[in-house]
Amino acid sequence: MFGLEPALQLTRTRDLRGELALGTGVLGAPRTRRQRTLLRWQVAISAGFFIVATMFVKYTIAEAQHDSGVDLERLGVAVLNLRAQQWDEARGRHTVDRVVEETRKDPAVEAVSVSTGMPLGLPAIRLTLSQPDSGIAGPADRYGAVGVAATPSLFRTIGVPILRGRGFDERDHAGAAPVAVISEFTARHVFGAGEAIGRPLVVQGTSRVTATVVGVARDTDVGYVFGEARPVVYLPLTQRYEPFLAIVARSTGDAALAVNALRGALRRADPDLAAEVTGTGRTVLTGAYVFLRAAGMSALGLGALTLALAMVGLFGIQSHIVAYRTREIGVRMSLGASPGQIQRMVLKDGYRPVVDGLAIGLFIGVIGRTIVRAYMELEVSVVDPWLFFVVPVPLIATAFCACYFPAHRAAGVDPNVALRHL
């Protein structure tokens, strides 16, 4: 858009003889007001886009240093797709039990569990929670949650302690009353300051059940890669059947031992089983952020490119405007203006669209970051003080160079020569 306006000027019918006589060149007298308006918006859009792009990079860095709440060391993870096998529930459960049994036989394995949505990056169950006495009157009474169906050994395997109450055990079999373990955040979010243990909780997914809360576990980032904290509820895998499962093994030593144990167990249980050993817990966590990291770096690269193009355009337009005003500068000097006054005049006129554009760009950037933060639920600040230094400084420095050096040359124009060509 910003490069189209000069091109359109070239396509218009011009009085080249008159323009050449005036020495204004092929482009003719520049529409300085229009050029400065375009420059102002080029700076604004470039600065705003760059500011929004930095949001993704900052979030990726913050998440890499964030404690997920899961002990990822010494973990190996395998993913099973029982739906692809077209098995019934009985055969699917039997096969999973065999894989777990074969994994436990490996002396390098300390603990093994089966679950959904564990650890980060693997599919989780989307649920809606409510209290029976709320009557589910409206959205304010319901809470979107991440559901994890798991075997009793999950909490020990992933290193998530039960803070109050108990985890799952042999009492929670298929025919028993539904139970649930919830995270600390869920307890605060749903039950407030009251005690959650023993309270009924309506869990709405593909079916609706009322489960009794039997335990509260430490908060984790299970089931979601980015966004604000969400309620997490753990359900016994014995009380529901899930075709997409993760088998997580903790080794007594290096995580590679757990990975090898899972590969061997899957091969011995069923060579044709649709399963994939995704790697160690750390690699699974890293893979969960690949898309976000790639998107962040791409956005930052585009933002930096637009900022660089704005600097190039800024230098070109400002230099052209100053060059066009050479005769005007000569006339002013012949009327008594000093070189210093000329330079100050040029710098003032050159800085105005840049400063205006930066102010608009910073505003656009803050609004854009607010919208992106709300839409993607990113836990990053909307305003970063360092951006008020990183973005304006190169543009202001470019504007100074673009105005100062042409103005310095123009200040050396002989006033008599300038007056002779009027």
| Beta pairing partners, 217 | 162, 183
pLDDT digits (tens, 9 = 90+) for 223-274: 455 555 678 899 999 998 888 888 889 988 888 888 888 888 988 888 878 7
Mean confidence (pLDDT) of the chain? 77
Q: Is residue 143 part of a domain?
A: yes
Residue environment code for 368-386, b if the CB has 16+ CB neighbours within 10 A, otherwise e: bbeebbeeeebebebebee
Residues 360-385 have a mean pLDDT of 79
Measured between alpha carbons, how far is residue 227 from residues 159, 291, 292, 375, 378 in Å?
A: 23, 14, 12, 9, 5
Tell me, what's the pLDDT at 146? Answer: 82
Residues 357 and 375 reside in one and the same domain: yes
pLDDT digits (tens, 9 = 90+) for 148-202: 899 999 999 888 899 999 999 999 998 899 999 999 988 988 888 888 999 999 8
Residues 128 and 45 reside in one and the same domain: no
Domain boundary among 269, 286, 303: 286
Residues 239 and 298 reside in one and the same domain: no
Given a cut of 50, whether residue 16 has pLDDT beyond it is: no
Q: Is residue 260 part of a domain?
A: yes
Q: Is residue 365 part of a domain?
A: yes
Residues 102 and 140 reside in one and the same domain: yes
Residues 326 and 278 reside in one and the same domain: no
Q: Is residue 93 part of a domain?
A: yes
Q: Is residue 315 part of a domain?
A: yes
Given a cut of 80, whether residue 329 has pLDDT beyond it is: no
Token pair listed for 283: 């690699």
Burial of 189 (0-12, 13-18, 19+ CB in 10 A): middle
Residues 51 and 143 reside in one and the same domain: no
Residues 79 and 50 reside in one and the same domain: no
| 94-103, 124-133, 302-311, 339-348: range with lowest mean pLDDT | 124-133
Number of domains into which the chain is organized: 2
Token pair listed for 306: 């637009």
Q: Is residue 267 part of a domain?
A: yes
pLDDT band at residue 142 under the 50/70/90 scheme: low
Burial of 274 (0-12, 13-18, 19+ CB in 10 A): middle
Contact 184, 203 (CB under 8 A): no
Domain boundary among 286, 315, 350: 286
Which helix (H) or strand (E) segment is 277 a member of? strand 275-280
Residues 99 and 221 reside in one and the same domain: yes
Residues 114 and 203 reside in one and the same domain: yes
- Give the best-scoring range by mean pLDDT among 106-110, 324-328, 370-374, 403-407: 106-110
Measured between alpha carbons, how far is residue 422 from residues 21, 115, 415, 416 in Å?
A: 10, 85, 11, 10
Residues 336 and 205 reside in one and the same domain: no
Q: Is residue 126 part of a domain?
A: yes
pLDDT band at residue 10 under the 50/70/90 scheme: very low
Q: Is residue 70 part of a domain?
A: no
Given a cut of 50, whether residue 139 has pLDDT beyond it is: no
Residues 356 and 236 reside in one and the same domain: no
Tell me, what's the pLDDT at 165? Answer: 95
Domain boundary among 251, 286, 321: 286
Token pair listed for 291: 């898309």
Please name the residues in contact with 163: beta carbons below 8 A apart, sequence gap of 6 or more. 184, 216, 217, 218
What global pTM score does this model have? 0.62
CA distance 104 to 404: 75
Tell me, what's the pLDDT at 4? Answer: 52
Residues 296 and 378 reside in one and the same domain: yes
Residues 190-216 have a mean pLDDT of 89
Which residues constitute the domain of residue 169? 75-286
Strands 125-130 and 143-150: antiparallel
Given a cut of 50, whether residue 204 has pLDDT beyond it is: yes
